[in-house]
Amino acid sequence: MSTLESIPRELVLEGERVMRLCNACRYCEGFCAVFPAMERRINFTEKDLNYLANLCHNCTECYYACQFAPPQVFELNFPKTLAEIRLETYRKYAWPGAFAALFRRNGLATGVVSVAGLFVILAIMLAGRTPRALLAAHSDAEGAFYAVMSHQAMVATFATVALLICGVFAIGFARFWRDTGVSNAQPLVASDLLQAISDTLGLKHLDGTDNGCAYPDELPSNTRRVFHHLTFYGFGLCLAATAVGTVFHYGLGWEGPPPIPDFARGGAGVVRSLPLLLGSLGGIGLLLGPAGLLWLKSRRNSLLVDPRQNGMDAGFLVSLMLTSLSGFLLTVFRETPALSALVVVHLGVVLGLFVTMPYGKFVHGIYRFGALLRNAKEQRTMQKLGAE
């Protein structure tokens, strides 16, 4: 792992300083998993910091509760220091390393890549269809959007991209896991995985006290958790819609766009519409969730914000919303001459989203999961240090 470039030295020193402060205090122990994990250590190397920073959900509860927060002399801003370290870990573990710089200008990058995505999609479409066919309206009976871009071309493009980014994520995850794995050599067991999955799916540590976390300001609130769930499960439902549609297409031979559900016919009238239903529900989540998260971000206490991450955060949320919005427009107007334009926009945005995912905010989920997994293992195998 010697090839990975360390995070900046000053940040490591500051990280070590804040950890020493908190470890000597421990008042925030009950808020989240970071403090108990910290208490399993006495010294804090870069590896420990990289792990602990990704275990933090940035609920900011521990900032408002801290008697050493600025302007007190120690100027302890635990959430912000961890956020700064997190950004550096995204860069550190990114593969290929040359793209890591994208984390610095991610908002811009997302925009540029999405526009490029549009052209790529347009090119693929023009390669397969005449311009005249692209400008015409097509009814669902004619296969609607497959009339402007073949199913094969679509699958080939997105399957390639999906495989590539899964590979990139896997490399990032492996790098994180190996780099932070000095604390103990015990093997993982199934229960660790189950716990990490349940912590992830429930956003366990975002509940702070029993009535929510201190986000976007000091008042305890559950809104961030709700909006994050909408985003996360919205994204999941959209992926599920795609997966189900693919199974219908290749497994059952149900080609073409899914029909509008006919609830009067009961189950039979709905089954074939499943991809549409899942996609619509997911799409609603992907409009409301990111919109809510952006709104919360705009109201955050500026003392807690690492401004270098604004572009990355907003870039990701906006592309999620655009994906959903263009998807809805496409569904509604697919039988009009606007079809081609909408296909270009929707698929372009999706392509842009996918391609930038490994170099943007999305990766927080990969490393957060890794940190939760390590935490589950440590809870089982390691002791808190510093008895009386």
Partner 1 sequence: MDLTRTYDVLIVGGGNAALCAAITARRAGASVLLLEGAPKDFRGGNSRHTRNLRCMHDHPADVLTDSYSESEYWEDLLKVTGGETNEQLARMTIRHSAHCREWMVRHGVRFQPSLGGTLHLSRTNAFFLGGGKFLVNAYYRTAEKLGVDIEYNSEVVELKIKDNTFTSAVFARKGFTHEVHAKTLIAAAGGFQSNIAWLKEAWGEAANNFIIRGTPYDKGNILRFLMDQGVKSVGDPTQCHAVAIDARAPNFDGGIVTRVDCVSLGIVVNRHALRFYDEGEDFWPKRYAIWGRLVAGQPDQIGYSIIDAKAMGTFMPPVFPPIEATSLKELAAKLNLDPDTLSQTVAKFNAAIKPGNFNHNVLDDCSTAGLTPPKSHWARPLDTPPFYAYPLRPGITFTYLGVKVNERAQIIMQDDKPSHNMFAAGEIMAGNILGKGYLAGFGMTIGTIFGRIAGEEAVKHVNA
Q: Find which of ligand SF4, partner 1, none residue 80 binds, CB within 5 to 8 Å per kind.
A: none
- Rounded to whole angstroms, how far apart are CA atoms 340 and 211? 48
Q: Any contact of residue 275 with partner 1 (CB under 8 A)?
A: no
Nearest to 39 by CA among 382, 369, 367, 373: 382
Do residues 367 and 54 touch, judged by C-beta distance below 8 A? Answer: yes
Tokens of 13: 């020193």
Q: From the CA atom positions of the chain, what is the Rg in Å?
A: 23
Of the pair 42, 243, the CB lying nearest partner 1 is at 42
Taking the complex as a whole, the smallest distance from the CB of residue 385 to ligand SF4 amounts, in Å, to 15
Q: Find which of partner 1, ligand SF4, none residue 219 binds, CB within 5 to 8 Å per kind.
A: partner 1
Q: Which long-range contacts (CB under 8 A, 24 or more apart) does 16-22 make?
A: 16/43, 16/44, 16/49, 18/76, 18/77, 18/78, 18/81, 19/44, 19/48, 19/49, 19/52, 20/44, 21/68, 21/74, 21/76, 22/62, 22/76, 22/78
Mark the segment that binds partner 1 (CB under 8 A) among 6-14, 21-29, 157-165, 179-187. 21-29
Of the pair 380, 384, the CB lying nearest partner 1 is at 384
Q: Any contact of residue 382 with partner 1 (CB under 8 A)?
A: no
User: Across the chain, how many H-helices and E-strands are there?
Assistant: 15, 0
Peptide bond connecting 258 to the previous residue in cis, omega within 30 degrees of 0: no
User: Quick one: which of 20, 39, 64, 65 contacts ligand SF4 (CB under 6 A)?
Assistant: 65
Q: Which residue reads 């559950």 in tokens?
A: 222
Q: Any contact of residue 67 with partner 1 (CB under 8 A)?
A: yes
Taking CB under 6 A as the rule, which mask of x and - marks residues 24-43 in contact with ligand SF4? -xxxx--xx-x---------
Mark the segment that binds ligand SF4 (CB under 6 A) among 61-69, 156-164, 246-254, 368-376. 61-69
Nearest to 146 by CA among 240, 252, 257: 257
Q: Find which of partner 1, ligand SF4, none residue 388 binds, CB within 5 to 8 Å per kind.
A: partner 1
Q: Per CB under 8 A, which of residues 25..64 are in contact with partner 1?
A: 25-31, 36, 39, 42, 61-62, 64
Strand, coil or helix: what is 197?
helix
- Rounded to whole angstroms, how far apart are CA atoms 24 and 40? 12
Q: Find which of ligand SF4, partner 1, none residue 56 binds, CB within 5 to 8 Å per kind.
A: ligand SF4
Interacting residues toward partner 1 by CB under 8 A:
20-21, 23-31, 36, 39, 42, 61-62, 64-68, 71-74, 209-210, 218-219, 384-388
Interacting residues toward ligand SF4 by CB under 6 A:
21-22, 25-28, 31-32, 34, 56-62, 65-68, 76, 78-79, 205
